[in-house]
Amino acid sequence: MIKADNINFWIKNRRVLENIYLQLNVGELKVVLGPNGAGKSSLFKILSGEATCKLGAVAYNGRNLQQYNAAHLAMVRSVMPQSSQLSFPFFAKEVVEMGLMNINNHNPTYSIQEVMLQTNTWHLKNQLYGNLSGGEKQRVQFSRALVQIWEEKPYPRYLLLDEPTSSMDISQQHQLLHLLLGLKKRNIGILVILHDLNLAALYADSLILLKEGKVIANGVKDEVLTAENLFQTFDYPIEVLRHPVTGKPLIAPQPVHTNFQQTIKSA
Amino acid sequence: MALLLQEKKLSNRKNYVLIGLGVLLFIVVLFSLQSGAYTIPSVDVLKILSSHFGADTGATSIQKNVLLHIRLPRLLMALMVGGGLGIAGAALQGLFRNPLVEPGLIGVSSGAALAAVCLFVFGASFPWLPNLMGAFTLPMAAFVGGLAVTMLVYRLSQAGGKTDISLLILAGVALNALAGALIGLSLFYADDAALRSFTFWSMGDVGGTTWSKVHIALPIIGIACLLLGKQHKGLNGIAIGEAEAYHMGINVQRLKIYVLVLSALIVGTGVSVTGAIGFVGLIVPHLIRLTIGSDHKIVLPASFLMGAILLSLSDLIARMIIMPAEMPIGIITAIIGAPFFIWLIINVKKLRS
C-alpha cells in the first residue's frame, strides 16, 4: 500500500498542496482528477519520490519513502511522467529496454517483446524514437514504465502514470486503460492522472478530485462522481448520466451557452 | 524471424565497429612507432617490443632507444590522453544532455590551465606543496582547477532543478574568459623561468613525454576512464530525462558528481601533461553516435578507442609534416576539429528547420 499522510507542499511560498491524505492499495486503479493548476503533478512527484514535501510523509509498503534509495524504489514502483524529451537518438526498443536497467528480470527479451506487443509498439521497435508520432512516443514510454514491473514478484508494486493518454487516439486510450485493468490483478496498485472524465468513469475503482491543492472528494467512484462534486471541482456544469451499456457513470458536460443562460436566469 | 535477423544485424554492426576500431588502433600504433625522423621497420618494432618480454632480438641499440624511450612513452601518452578526452566528452555530452558540450566548453581545460599557471608562477611560494605530493602536484592542481570551474559552470546553469543549456554555454564562455584573463594576469607576475615552463607546457603537445610522466598520468587517466565507462546505465537513463532516470533507479545526483569528478580528473591530468588539446572530446563521440547509435554501453568504450586513434594519428601527422621539426598537436586537432564543428552546426540547423 502507498500511504500519503498530511501532504503539504510549497512552490516559491505558494502552497500548492494542503493536507492531502491518500491510500493506494494493490489491485486498485485510482484516478486523480482536477482542473489545471490543481496540484495533480506536484502530488504525483511527491508520490513518486521525485520531490520531497516539507510537511507530511509518503510510505511504500509500510516503509517511509526516504528510507528507499533510487535503485530499491525502482523495484517497487514504476513511473511514467507527462512527456519525455530524449537528448540523443535511441531506437524505440532501446528506450523500452531501459526500463529494466535496475530490475532483476529473468527473461528480459521475452518481457520486452510481450510488453511491446501488448502496447502495440512492437512494430515500431527498430524506429528512432524521435521520428515517432506523439501518441506512439507515449506508448513507447508507457512500455518502458510497464516493463519495469512486468515480471511478477512476490511483493506489492505500484504504477504511477501522469496523463498517459493525452496524445493518444480514442482506441489507443481504451486499450491502455484495459491493459491497466489486467495489470492490477498482478499484485499491483495503479494511480493515474487523467483529464478525460469518461475514461475515469469507465475504468477507475476510486477517484480523488483535487482543486487548488485541496481534496474535494476522495473515495469509491460512484460516491465521488456526482454532478455537485464535479461542479465544485471544475466550476463548470457537468451532468452525470448512466452509460447505456455498462451502467457506469457517463459524464456529460453542458455546452457553454447553456451555462450562460442558466447564469442569466438565476441572476 | 525477419525482424530478429535485423536486430542481429544491428548488434553485429556494433561489434564490427568495436573490432574495426581495435584493428585501426593497432595499425596506427604500429605505424606511429615505426615512423619519424629515424625510421624503424615494423618487423623490428615488433621484435624490440617482444624482446622486452624476454625474446631475443638483433635490433640495434639506437633503434631500441628511440623506440623504448622516445616513441613508446609518447605514443602511450597520446593514446591515453586522446582516449580520455574521447570518453570524457561522450560522458559530459550525455550528462548535460547536449551534443555540443565538450570539456573545453564547460571550463575543465581552462580551469586546469589556470591552476597549472598558478602553480608555475606562485608555486615557489608554497614549497611544502611539491614535498607533499611530489610528481603528482601538477596533475592534482590541474584536476582541482578543472573540477572547480566545471562545478561553478554547472551550478550557474542550474535553473529550477534542471540544467539550462543556454545558461550553461553562457556560463562556460564567461568563466573561460575569466580564466583566460587570470592566466594573463598571473603571467604578468611571472619571472622568466616560470614564463618559460608555461610557454612550453601551453603549446599542447605530447612530444618530450618521458616514462616518469607516463607513470603518473597513465594510472590516473586509466582508472578514471574505467570508472567512467561503468556509468553507461545512468547516462542512458539521463538521456530520457533526469526524472525518468531517477524513476528507473538511478541516483542522479551521485551520477552527476561521478561524471564531473572523473571527467575533470581525466581532462585535468591530460592538460597537465600535454596542455589543452581541443576538439577531440567534441568530434569523437559524434562520429561514434553517427555509426553505432546512442547506447552509452558502446558509445563510452568506442569513444575511448576513437579518441586514442585520433590523437595518436594527429601526433603522427604533427611530427611527420615538417620533419624533423614538430608541429604542436593542438594545431592538428583544431584543423580537423574546427571544420567538423562548423559542419555540425549546419546539420543541427537543418534538423531544427
Quickly list DSSP for A16-58. EEEEEEEEE-TT-EEEEE--TTSSHHHHHHHHHTSS--SEEEE
What is the DSSP code (8-state) at residue A192? Answer: E
Interface residue A79 vs chain B (CB under 8 A):
yes
Confidence (pLDDT) at A262: 62
Cell numbers that stand for B117 in this block: 599557471
Considering the domain boundaries, does residue B34 fall inside one? yes
Interface residue A86 vs chain B (CB under 8 A):
yes
Contact state of B289 with A88 under an 8 Å Cβ cutoff: yes
Task: Please name each of the domains of chain A with its CATH number.
Answer: 2-266 (3.40.50.300)
Interface residue A84 vs chain B (CB under 8 A):
yes
Q: Which residue in the set A78, A85, A86 is minimally distant from B247, CB to CB?
A: A78
Confidence (pLDDT) at A93: 94
Considering the domain boundaries, does residue B323 fall inside one? yes
Confidence (pLDDT) at A148: 96
For residues B249 and A101, the answer to whether their CB atoms sit within 8 Å is: yes
- Taking 80 as the threshold, does the pLDDT of residue A73 lie above it? yes
* pLDDT, greater one: A152 or B162: A152
Which residues in chain B are closer than 8 Å to A101, comparing Cβ atoms?
A: 233, 236-237, 248-250
Cα gap A6→B151, rounded to integer Å: 37
Of the pLDDT bands very low, low, confident and very high (cuts 50, 70, 90), residue A72 is very high
For residues B130 and B263, the answer to whether their CB atoms sit within 8 Å is: no
What is the rounded average pLDDT of the residues A37-60? 92
Q: pLDDT by residue (tens digit) across B213-233?
A: 888 889 999 999 999 999 999
Confidence (pLDDT) at A43: 95
What is the rounded average pLDDT of the residues A20-43? 94
Contact state of A90 with B295 under an 8 Å Cβ cutoff: yes
Cα gap A193→A161, rounded to integer Å: 6
- Taking 70 as the threshold, does the pLDDT of residue A89 lie above it? yes
What is the rounded average pLDDT of the residues B234-256? 92
Question: What percentage of chain A has pLDDT greater than the value 90?
Answer: 78
Q: Which residue in the set B7, B236, B247 is minimally distant from A79, CB to CB?
A: B247
Of the pLDDT bands very low, low, confident and very high (cuts 50, 70, 90), residue B307 is very high
Give, to the nearest 10 degrees, the angle between helix B137-156 and helix B252-274.
140
Of the pLDDT bands very low, low, confident and very high (cuts 50, 70, 90), residue B1 is very low
What is the rounded average pLDDT of the residues A113-136? 93
Confidence (pLDDT) at A164: 95
Considering the domain boundaries, does residue B104 fall inside one? yes
Q: pLDDT by residue (tens digit) across A178-205?
A: 999 999 999 999 999 999 999 999 999 9
* pLDDT, greater one: B161 or A230: A230
Cα gap B236→B256, rounded to integer Å: 13
Contact state of B246 with A125 under an 8 Å Cβ cutoff: no
CA-based nearest distance A204→chain B, Å: 24
Of the pLDDT bands very low, low, confident and very high (cuts 50, 70, 90), residue A84 is confident
- Taking 60 as the threshold, does the pLDDT of residue B4 lie above it? no
Cα gap B274→B268, rounded to integer Å: 10
Place of cell 468513469: A201
The range of the structural domain enclosing residue B161 comes to 13-352
Dihedral sign computed on CA atoms, order A183, A188, A191, A197? positive
Which residues in chain A are closer than 8 Å to B11, comparing Cβ atoms?
A: none
CATH assignment at residue B333? 1.10.3470.10
State the DSSP string of B133-179: HGGGHHHHHHHHHHHHHHHHHHHHTEETTEE-HHHHHHHHHHHHHHH
Mean pLDDT of chain A: 91
Confidence (pLDDT) at A197: 93
Cell numbers that stand for B63 in this block: 633503434
Confidence (pLDDT) at B3: 40
Which residues in chain B are closer than 8 Å to A140, comparing Cβ atoms?
A: none
Contact state of B233 with A74 under an 8 Å Cβ cutoff: no
Mean pLDDT of chain B: 81
Q: Which residue in the set B3, B243, B295 is minimally distant from A81, CB to CB?
A: B243
Place of cell 528547420: B353
Q: pLDDT by residue (tens digit) across B11-69?
A: 677 788 889 999 999 999 888 888 776 777 777 777 777 776 655 555 667 777 777 77
Which residues in chain A are closer than 8 Å to B13, comparing Cβ atoms?
A: none
Confidence (pLDDT) at B2: 39
Confidence (pLDDT) at B191: 80
Residues in Cβ contact with B88 at an 8 Å cutoff, skipping those fewer than 6 apart: B103, B108, B228, B262, B263, B266, B267, B281
Q: How many CB pairs under 8 A join A and B?
A: 83
Cell numbers that stand for A109 in this block: 527479451
Q: What is the complex's ipTM, to 2 decimals?
A: 0.91
Considering the domain boundaries, does residue B3 fall inside one? no
Contact state of B239 with A81 under an 8 Å Cβ cutoff: no
What is the rounded average pLDDT of the residues B72-78? 89
Considering the domain boundaries, does residue B70 fall inside one? yes
For residues A197 and A32, the answer to whether their CB atoms sit within 8 Å is: no
Question: What percentage of chain B has pLDDT greater than the value 70?
Answer: 85
- Taking 70 as the threshold, does the pLDDT of residue B312 lie above it? yes
Considering the domain boundaries, does residue B5 fall inside one? no
Q: pLDDT by residue (tens digit) across B267-301?
A: 888 888 887 787 888 888 988 887 788 899 999 99
User: How many structural domains are present in chain B?
Assistant: 1
Lowest mean pLDDT among A261-265, B255-259, B328-332: A261-265
Lowest mean pLDDT among A46-50, A104-108, A167-171, B253-257: B253-257
For residues B300 and B91, the answer to whether their CB atoms sit within 8 Å is: yes
Q: How many CB atoms lie within 10 A of CB B104?
A: 22
Contact state of A102 with B248 under an 8 Å Cβ cutoff: yes
Interface residue A126 vs chain B (CB under 8 A):
yes
Considering the domain boundaries, does residue B2 fall inside one? no
* pLDDT, greater one: B330 or A140: A140
Cα gap A130→A84, rounded to integer Å: 11
Candidates B98, B165, B240, B296, partner chain A, best to mutate (most A CBs within 10 A):
B240
Confidence (pLDDT) at B304: 95
Pairing of strands A188-193, A249-253: unpaired
Considering the domain boundaries, does residue B142 fall inside one? yes
Place of cell 499484485: A187
Confidence (pLDDT) at A258: 63
- Taking 80 as the threshold, does the pLDDT of residue B340 lie above it? no
